[in-house]
Structures are given as structure tokens and as C-alpha cells.
């Protein structure tokens, strides 16, 4: 019994350890490059510890835009800070800087997938290979002042060219977006953020939920085989059944509501 508990405990702890969501987006140099030039602001402010400490909607989890959705967290959080900027009479440049930063992050291809840090190495579990190094490659091109560079990626079957045109278009789109005050009230924007938060978290763990599901299949099969043989419901069967049902429910509900 102790051995079984150890195995289940180990699997659970491993799952929780691997499920620590880690996100890094454009480098500081890339943020600076795609920062609109007609604003004297810092587009890296939303990454600073001090700003995140005072503004919870700038925390790391709000920088990832799973599946590149129009209402993903960084786009909603950007709208929140942009609204605050206008409400306070455009007196705090950090708010518009944070909005620009989050809009930049939302257009970072590597932020369209969950990412994790495992044993000190950043990786995606069920994401394309380009996710782990596309940001570094882009930053390298910019730092070396290379010309006519292009990094081609495939996202959901569509080819996307990441180059200076991509970043310049992003810069233009951000400049147009922040030039107008959002129509929704600050309370309405915050309500949207809160309503999306739980599904955002669960979407971040979806890859591991899928992996957990396949891990549970042989465990559940073995527990059921023992039940058929011994005609006795074991704790293995109960625990694995509950875990299987929960993982399926989370996956389905996330697909529906995220």
C-alpha cells in the first residue's frame, strides 16, 4: 500500500512541478524595436518587478496569449492599463507603456503556446519546436543589425514570416490602438479579465492534462483488472477513476469556455 501511495504521490508531484507555467516573450531589444516612436515611454515596464508588484494585471500569467485569441489575457490587460491611462488624464506613462508591452506580447508567436521551465530549460510540451528558440533568434537578428532577415514558422497550418515588416506592422497597429480610449469602462474590462482568469490558467495546463490522461489509462486498466480478479474495489481504482474523470472534465470545459 505504501508503495502504491508513493507512486501516486510521485506522479502527482511530478505533474504539479512540470505544470509551473513559465513565460518569456520578446527580449527587451525586440520590445524597444516594436515600441511606437511617437511616444516617449518604456515598453519594457510591464516586465519590471516594481510595476508588477503594484499592478497585478501585469504579472507573468497575463503576458501569454494562448491560441492567439482576440480576448486573450494580454490583450484584455492591455486594454485595462490603456483605460487607466486615459482615466487618469494621460499623466502616468507607465500605464500606456504597459499596454504597449502586453500588446506586443500578444503578437509574440511563442506566447500562443503554454511554455514551461523544466530543470532550468525552457520548453513547450505539445508545442512546435520553433517555440523554444524563436524569440532568441529574432533578438539575435536585431542585435547584429542583420538586413533582409526572415524567420518562417508554421502556426496551425499557416505559414507566418517573422521579420522587420512583421515588427513594423506590429508597431503601427499598437500605435493606432493606444491612440484611442477603450469604449468599455474600467469595471467592465476588469470583469472580463476575472471571468477569463480560471480558463486561462487551465488552458495553460492543458498539455499536461492530456499527458496525465494517457498516464492514467494503464493505471486505470491495471486497477480495473485487479477489481475483476479480486472482486474488490481498491483505492487504486477509485483514485485513478476520479483523476481520469477530472482530467476529462477540465479538458472539455476548457475547450468550451476558453
For residue 205, what pLDDT is reported?
82
Query: In terms of domains, do 190 and 212 share one?
Result: no
Query: Is residue 21 situated within a structural domain?
Result: no
Q: How far apart are CA 2 and CA 13, in angstroms?
A: 16
Q: What is the DSSP track for 143-207?
A: HTT-SS-EEEEEETTEEEEEEHHHHHHHHHHHHHHHTS--SS-HHHHHHHHHHHHHHHHHHHTHH
For residue 20, what pLDDT is reported?
46
Q: What residue has cell string 481504482?
A: 237
Q: What are phi and psi of 6, to 5 degrees?
A: -65, -45
Query: In terms of domains, do 115 and 220 share one?
Result: no
Q: β-strand 150-155 against 158-163: which pairing, if any? A: antiparallel
Q: How far apart are CA 217 and CA 211, in angstroms?
A: 10
Average pLDDT over residues 9-26: 53
8 A C-beta contact, residue 192 and residue 182: no
The number of folded domains in the chain is 2
Query: Is residue 19 situated within a structural domain?
Result: no
Q: β-strand 121-123 against 116-118: which pairing, if any? A: antiparallel
Q: How far apart are CA 242 and CA 75, in angstroms?
A: 36
Query: Is residue 202 situated within a structural domain?
Result: no
Contacts of 125 (CB under 8 A, 6+ apart): 18, 114, 116, 207, 208, 211
- 132: number of Cβ within 10 Å: 16
For residue 7, what pLDDT is reported?
54
Query: In terms of domains, do 155 and 213 share one?
Result: no
Which pLDDT tens digit goes with each residue over 158-196? 999 999 999 999 999 999 999 999 999 999 999 999 999
Which pLDDT tens digit goes with each residue over 33-86? 999 987 778 899 999 999 999 999 999 889 999 999 999 999 999 999 999 999
For residue 123, what pLDDT is reported?
58
Query: Is residue 60 situated within a structural domain?
Result: yes
Q: How far apart are CA 33 and CA 175, in angstroms?
A: 13
- Residue 98 half-sphere exposure toward CB, CA atoms < 13 A: 31
Query: In terms of domains, do 75 and 162 share one?
Result: yes
Contacts of 1 (CB under 8 A, 6+ apart): 235
| Average pLDDT score, the chain | 86
Average pLDDT over residues 136-157: 93
Query: In terms of domains, do 186 and 215 share one?
Result: no
For residue 21, what pLDDT is reported?
46
Does the structure show a pLDDT above 70 at 216? yes
Query: In terms of domains, do 172 and 221 share one?
Result: no
Query: In terms of domains, do 153 and 109 share one?
Result: yes
Domain that holds residue 159: 26-195
Query: In terms of domains, do 35 and 10 share one?
Result: no
Query: Is residue 201 situated within a structural domain?
Result: no
Q: Out of 62-66, 143-147, 229-233, pick the least confident.
A: 229-233
Does the structure show a pLDDT above 80 at 19? no
For residue 75, what pLDDT is reported?
98
Q: Out of 1-10, 169-178, 202-211, 241-250, pick the least confident.
A: 1-10
Does the structure show a pLDDT above 50 at 23? no
Average pLDDT over residues 96-108: 96
Closest CA to 102 of 38, 157, 51, 37: 51
Q: How far apart are CA 200 and CA 248, in angstroms?
A: 17
Does the structure show a pLDDT above 60 at 231? yes
For residue 39, what pLDDT is reported?
79
Does the structure show a pLDDT above 70 at 95? yes
In sign, the C-alpha dihedral spanning 95, 96, 97, 102 is positive
Query: In terms of domains, do 59 and 32 share one?
Result: yes
For residue 199, what pLDDT is reported?
93
Query: In terms of domains, do 138 and 189 share one?
Result: yes
Query: Is residue 169 situated within a structural domain?
Result: yes
Query: In terms of domains, do 173 and 93 share one?
Result: yes
For residue 12, what pLDDT is reported?
57
Amino acid at each position: 500500500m505504501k508503495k502504491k501511495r508513493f507512486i501516486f504521490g510521485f506522479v502527482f508531484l511530478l505533474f504539479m512541478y512540470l505544470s509551473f507555467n513559465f513565460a518569456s516573450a520578446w527580449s527587451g531589444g525586440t520590445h524597444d524595436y516594436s515600441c511606437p516612436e511617437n511616444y516617449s515611454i518604456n515598453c519594457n515596464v510591464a516586465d519590471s518587478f516594481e510595476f508588477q508588484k503594484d499592478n497585478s494585471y501585469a504579472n507573468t500569467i497575463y503576458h501569454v496569449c494562448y491560441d492567439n485569441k482576440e480576448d486573450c489575457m494580454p490583450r484584455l490587460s492591455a486594454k485595462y492599463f490603456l483605460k487607466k491611462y486615459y482615466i487618469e488624464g494621460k499623466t502616468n506613462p507607465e500605464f500606456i507603456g504597459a499596454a504597449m508591452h502586453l500588446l506586443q506580447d500578444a503578437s509574440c508567436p511563442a506566447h500562443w503556446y503554454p511554455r514551461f521551465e523544466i530543470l532550468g530549460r525552457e520548453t513547450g510540451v505539445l508545442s512546435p519546436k520553433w517555440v523554444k528558440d524563436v524569440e532568441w533568434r529574432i533578438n539575435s537578428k536585431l542585435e547584429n543589425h542583420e538586413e533582409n532577415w526572415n524567420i518562417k514558422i508554421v502556426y496551425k497550418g499557416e505559414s507566418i514570416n517573422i521579420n522587420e515588416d512583421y515588427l513594423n506592422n506590429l508597431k503601427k497597429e499598437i500605435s493606432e490602438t493606444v491612440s484611442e480610449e477603450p469604449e468599455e469602462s474600467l469595471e467592465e474590462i476588469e470583469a472580463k479579465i476575472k471571468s477569463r482568469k480560471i480558463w486561462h490558467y487551465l488552458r495553460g495546463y492543458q498539455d499536461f492534462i492530456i499527458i496525465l490522461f494517457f498516464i492514467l489509462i494503464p493505471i486505470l486498466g491495471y486497477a480495473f483488472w485487479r477489481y475483476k480478479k479480486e472482486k474488490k474495489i481498491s483505492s487504486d481504482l477509485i483514485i485513478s477513476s476520479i483523476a481520469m474523470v477530472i482530467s476529462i472534465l477540465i479538458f472539455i470545459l476548457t475547450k468550451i469556455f476558453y
